[in-house]
Structures are given as C-alpha cells and as structure tokens.
Amino acid sequence: MTYPISVELTTNPKEKPSHHKQAFGTVFTDHMFMLDYDAGQGWHDPRIVPYQPIELDPAAKVFHYGQTVFEGLKAYLTEDQRILMFRPNKNIQRLNLSNQRLSIPTLDEELVMEALKQLVLVDREWIPSEPGTSLYIRPFVIATEPVLGVAPSLQYKFMIILSVVGSYYAEGINPVSIYVEPKYVRAVAGGVGNAKTAGNYAAGLKAQDEATLKGYSQVLWLDGVHRKYIEEVGSMNVFFKLGDKVVTPALNGSILDGVTRNSVIQLLQHWNIPVEERALSIDEIVEAHRSGLLTEAFGTGTAAVISPIGSLEWQDEQLVIGEGTTGELSKRVYDAITGIQLGTVEDPFGWAVELPLS
Ligand SMILES: *Cc1c(COP(=O)(O)O)cnc(C)c1O
C-alpha cells in the first residue's frame, strides 16, 4: 500500500547552523508533517509543509486535559552518507500504545513510517555529520477539539517535527550525580507512567527543580506505593551492575518501555551477560554498595543512549559508584549501540533502518 503524502516545499529555507553545539531541541528544520483526525472521517490529509506555527482554539482539549502523546527517535548520517534510523518500528508501536492509553485513535503504522522517511528525506541536508550528532525526530499527537468537557476529543492533529542535535557528550561521557527522590513520585501502576504523555513530565518538574537546587543532575524515582522499588532515573530507564549480573526494574505498568532499555537487554543477552528484569529495592542497592557488589549504574534513553551514574544520594548518605568514573560495561554498551546507529559496527539484530535515497 502506498500513501500519497502531499509535499509543499518552503520557498524560504532557513540558514542551517554551522556548528552543532546547540542546546537540545532548539533548532528546527524547514519542514514538518501533519495529519488531521475528525470523528467520522478518521485520519486524513497527510502532508509535509513548511515548518510554521499552528493555530489552535483556546478551548482545544490538549490545553485543558492533557490529551496528548509523543515519541522521540533519531536519524543518523553515516560516514558514507547513508541515512539510518534506529528501530523506528518500536517507536511507532509505542506511539499507538500511548494513543490507546490516552483514548486517542490509533495511527496507521505504515503511514507513520512513510511520513518519518519522507520528512527526513525532505530535510536530509539538515542531518549533521559531526561525530555524536544526529537529527532528533519528535512525532506527537494533540487533541484539538474546542470543547470544555472531559471526554475524548473528536479532533486531533498528528505532527512530526525535526530538530538538529549536537553531541551529547562533546566533553566526553561524564557520570552524573543522582538524588534518590523520597517525597515525589513519577507514576503508579494503573496510571499513565507507561505511556509517553505530557502529564508525566509536568509531574516530574518539581522534583527535578529541587534536585537541581541541591546540586544533583537528575532524580531516581521510587515506586509510588511502597516508596522502595526503583523505577527510572529522570526520563530514562536504569540499569545496575551487581557482581556478574545486570539488573533493571521489570516493566510493572508504571515504567516506560524504553527502546534503548530493550536494546541493552538484548545486547547483554547476546554477550552472555546475565540480565534480570525484576523488582529492585533501594535497600538492595545500598546493601550491594556496602558489600562492593555494585560496580556500575547507568540510565538509558534515546537522547544520551547511556548516561553513567557516578553517585546516588539516599537518606543523607552518598553512594559513590565505581569511583565516579564510567564503567567498562557502560562504555561497551554505549559503543555497541552508537556503533550500530552510525553503521560502524556489525548489526546482528537488524536494528538500523536505512532510508532509500531515491
Ligand atoms: C522516552 C523515555 C524513556 C526512554 O525511552 P527510549 O525509547 O529508550 O528513548 C525512558 N523513560 C521515560 C519516562 C521516557 O519518557
């Protein structure tokens, strides 16, 4: 099946940044993708248009009830000028899982893939080529029906925008200090923690603010019921190396099913390193730190790929992990995933999807 996506090219291309050290998500490309939904008609009018502001009624439901979901993935330019995306199917599937949880009509996954490919191709000259840089792809859905009633919207927009990202680790991979959050929680099972939806991030800002003031870069979230089990770090999944094995919290309904998390688990299994997905309490981590079993910890997500954790602050105690340096396994996982993303190492899983340069 082919999808006719109409394309209106800009007559006024923007100047491309000459270097790529911008703060994340500040520079957008020349075009964007749009698709509308109206009840009775379904999703319609797929189109690529010049990047521009959109007009919404002040009563649009997204502003009042947060009925919205998003995704985040990247496109990379290889040394031989091929364009690769990393496991885009996983993001498209997760987009629809988020849609279902937020009572948003699901999208045709083939159409979304086609839209991703065509939009990235239209703006391909924006993909930076310096080491560590990429094009960040942000698909999202907003509820646009202008009615102040708490009910699923009868109108939506699905859009994709693209942003140039500089090297996350321009100054090298530096382990971060983490505050284990005792007061606020991110999500509970049964809520929307496993959907990529705006409210989760708004709910986390206060804890992030307070941790920043205390001098930490991120918070480690504990579960909302027992305030004991580890969930995520900031907006990343989290892994701990305990002796010979690696442990990550199981997907329990309040944790986001990260594409990077899934890739790390598959890589570890491929390397015959035992990996466990299970409930993991902060007490177990404190105990493993005391006994010397805890040697590495890292967050995983599309933006940073791997973010090593140098220390954890919990109940006025500072747990320094691996002398605060980047661990061997963290580095190995980082090199393997970024190597596959950039097409410089073998891809035994078929994760890199090449865009046809027709
Ligand atoms: C997006 C996200 C992640 C990481 O998911 P990736 O698919 O690896 O980028 C983890 N936790 C939260 C809360 C997220 O929003």
Ligand 1 atom showing the smallest separation from residue 303 Cα: 9
Q: What is residue 191's predicted lDDT score, i.e. its pLDDT?
A: 97
Q: Is the CB of 302 under 6 A from ligand 1?
A: yes
Does domain 6-165 fall under CATH 3.30.470.10? My reply is yes
Domain residue spans of the chain? 6-165, 176-342
Which of 236, 260, 261 has most ligand 1 atoms within 8 Å of CB, for mutation? 236
Q: What mean pLDDT value characterizes the chain?
A: 95
Strands (E), 6-99: 6-7, 31-38, 42-50, 68-70, 73-77, 83-86
Ligand 1 contact, 256 CB (< 6 A):
yes
Is residue 259 within 6 Å of ligand 1 at its C-beta? yes
Which residue from 186, 246, 187, 228 is spatially nearest to 211, judged by alpha carbons?
A: 186
pLDDT band at 171 (very low <50, low <70, confident <90, very high): low
Q: In this structure, are residues 50 and 9 in contact, taking their beta carbons and an 8 Å threshold?
A: yes
Fold match between 6-165 and 176-342?
no
pTM of the complete model: 0.96
List, for residues 230-286, the tens digit of each pLDDT value: 999 999 999 999 999 999 999 999 999 999 999 999 999 999 999 999 999 999 999
Q: What is the pLDDT of residue 358?
A: 64
CATH superfamily of 176-342: D-amino Acid Aminotransferase, subunit A, domain 2 (3.20.10.10)
| Contact by Cβ (8 Å): 337, 65 | no
Q: Residue 1 pLDDT more than 80?
A: no
Ligand 1 centre and the CA of 7: distance in Å? 31
Best residue among 201, 220, 235 to mutate for probing ligand 1's pocket (most ligand atoms within 8 Å of CB) is 235
Q: Tell whether the model's pLDDT for residue 111 goes beyond 90.
A: yes
Nearest CA to ligand 1 atom 13: 235
E strand or H helix at 61, and its extent?
helix 61-65
Q: Helices marked H in 155-304 — which ranges?
A: 198-213, 259-270, 282-291
